[in-house]
Amino acid sequence: MISITNKLQIDLTKLSVHEVNTPEDRADLIALRKIIAAENDFDFLDVSDVESYYQKRENVYRKCFFLLRNNEKACGIGEIIPINTLYCHHIAEANILLMQSVMGQGCASLLMQHIEKKLIKLDISKAQTTILQNNLQGLSFLIKHGFHIEGKLKGVVYKNEEFFDAYFMAKNI
């Protein structure tokens, strides 16, 4: 059911999160990320960059992608991308991306729970992410879930012929 505000009314009992393991899951992941990139000014990727983004990460050791589904329809993505260097094997990039129609209804919190459980299983003790400075809803969410700002990156994102500042944030798991 779509409300007047174009929010998809979420029944939390009908949400499911699972790891992307099959070619069908991967196709859903790419299709959803293209939708999110097209509708969301806060996504770092342009629609044309989505496939190469995931292609470059296919062989990353211990990586994990999650799909959030509402009644079997993909509506959110969780990403864990470990930093695979000699001294940083305990750190991973952790990202959450949602369709605008499901924001503010607990979906990101559900994905964060799954990400944190998986980080523990992977023996990763620190999650980090980069978020655009003007993404106030995302900043509020990350702070609420224990992330803190470790630094500001000036002009780090170039999108739509404009440079944007971002925050580098992290959380100990």
Reported as a single tens digit per residue, the pLDDT across 7-33 is 677 777 789 999 999 999 999 999 999
How many domains is the chain partitioned into structurally?
1
Q: What local confidence, expressed as pLDDT, does residue 119 receive?
A: 96
Contact 133, 152 (CB under 8 A): yes
Domain membership of residue 1 (yes or no) is no
Note the pTM of the prediction, 2 decimals.
0.89
Is the pLDDT confidence value at 67 over 90? yes
Domain membership of residue 153 (yes or no) is no
Q: How far apart are CA 147 and CA 138, in angstroms?
A: 11
Query: Which CATH number is 48's domain given?
Result: 3.40.630.30
Domain membership of residue 46 (yes or no) is yes
Domain span at 24: 12-126
Q: Are strands 148-159 and 162-172 parallel, antiparallel or unpaired?
A: antiparallel
